[in-house]
Amino acid sequence: MNTDRRRNNAPPGGTSAPVFARTIREPGYLQSLRPRRSRGPNELRRIFLQPSIIPSASGSAYLEIPTSSTPSTSTLVPPTSSLKITASVQGPKPLPRSAPFSPSLLLTTTVKFAPFATRNRRGYIRDTTERDLGVHLETALRGVIIGERWPKSGVEVVVTILEGDEDGWWGDSASEGSANGSGWGLLNVLAGCITVASAAITDAGIDCVDVITGGVAAITRNPDSRDQKDLARLLDPCPAEHKEIVAACAVAYLASRDEITEIWMKGDIGADPDALIEGATHAAVGSLAVVKDVLLEALQAKFQGQLEVKESGVKRKAGDVDMTG
């Protein structure tokens, strides 16, 4: 229960999109709405990345991964959710005088879901899931920033999840009468947080050893096959498109150094976990190409704007000299 008295608290129960009676009465029709993966096993979803979206922050970025499933015209409920995340960086700034001396930069990460980010409305106060994501993000970024260049300084990375990947398809929870709490969507959320936070840190001009990106790979079971060993490895999985996910892995990967700064594995990995980790690194490398292109375009635009301002100042100064002469 939310105890924040400064706000008008939302109803204690969860809110969800309306589901028509026909969907509940006809199981066959309900299963016909299940989204299917139309991408190849090694094909990633499209990524939209925009840096410098918050003028008051030292650096910021916005990441969006749209849904790959086509919406159905017979229902208002979207087949899958998209991933929308913003990140802002405050600092580096000096620590208070009362703080003990720190030879390197102190990093603080905060991950927060917006109240409307998931189907079940979330509270305004951070819960254990958001704290765990913040710890994973801090561990991933700590091995990237060159903290020795800012002694007795601190930087704060705030990540807000506007829309998160679901843990499963909404039709399964509607037919079973309970929410799907498997937590598979959190791995995609963590990978997105790592990528957008890295872009925001680069936009803030903080020195790093490399641009870090997140990637996810999963092992799924074919529901149409009777063989329990009929498994497939997929990159960038969407939990709503797969009825049964056996295992998944999210990594924070430095491509140029070939290093993994954070790893989160979930499920029955099996006897060969290296193959799943390798798939997650391939997904991270695919995201890196987009991040580098976007940051390079933003940097060129920034330098071009500074050059135009400098040239206009020189022309104005030359005009003033001619008038006085």
Q: 């899958």: which residue's tokens?
A: 80
Parts of the chain with a pLDDT under 70: 1-5, 9-29, 69-79, 171-181, 223-228, 230, 308-325
CB 243 within 8 A of CB 173: no
In a domain, 23, yes or no: no
Q: How many CB atoms lie within 10 A of CB 308?
A: 10
Residue 219 belongs to what domain range?
Answer: 33-69+79-172+183-312
Question: Does some domain include residue 216?
Answer: yes
**pLDDT of res. 252:** 96
Number of domains in the chain: 1
- Any domain includes 12: no
Verify cis geometry, omega within 30 degrees of 0, for the bond prior to 92.
yes
- A 10 A CB-CB count for 197 gives 30
CATH number, position 47:
3.30.230.70
Cβ atoms of 116 and 107 closer than 8 Å: no
Query: CA 210 to CA 261: how far, in whole Å?
Result: 12
∠ CA 24-25-31 to the nearest 5 degrees? 65
Q: What is the value of pTM for the model shown?
A: 0.82
Residue at 17 is within a domain: no
- The structure tokens listed for 279 are 């798939």
Residues 6+ apart with CB under 8 A from 128: none
In a domain, 28, yes or no: no
pLDDT, tens digit (0-9, with 9 covering 90-100), for 96-126: 888 888 889 999 999 999 998 888 888 888 8
CA distances from 111 to 150, 222, 229 (A): 24, 34, 37
Q: Alpha-carbon distance 253 to 210, whole Å?
A: 10
Give a yes or no: residue 178 inside a domain.
Answer: no
Q: What is the pLDDT of residues 134-193, one digit of tens each?
A: 999 999 999 899 989 988 999 999 999 999 888 777 766 655 544 445 788 899 999 999
- How, if at all, do strands 83-94 and 153-163 pair? antiparallel
- The mean pLDDT value of the chain amounts to 82
Per the CB < 8 A criterion, the answer to whether 194 and 213 are in contact is yes
Give the C-alpha separation, 93 to 112, whole Å. 22
Tell me, what amino acid is at 184?
Answer: W
Return the percentage of the chain with pLDDT > 90, whole number: 42
Cα distance between residue 65 and residue 286, in whole Å: 13
Place of tokens 């497939």: 232
Does residue 141 lie in a domain region?
A: yes
Residue at 224 is within a domain: yes
Q: Which of 144, 142, 133 is nearest to 254 (CA)?
A: 144
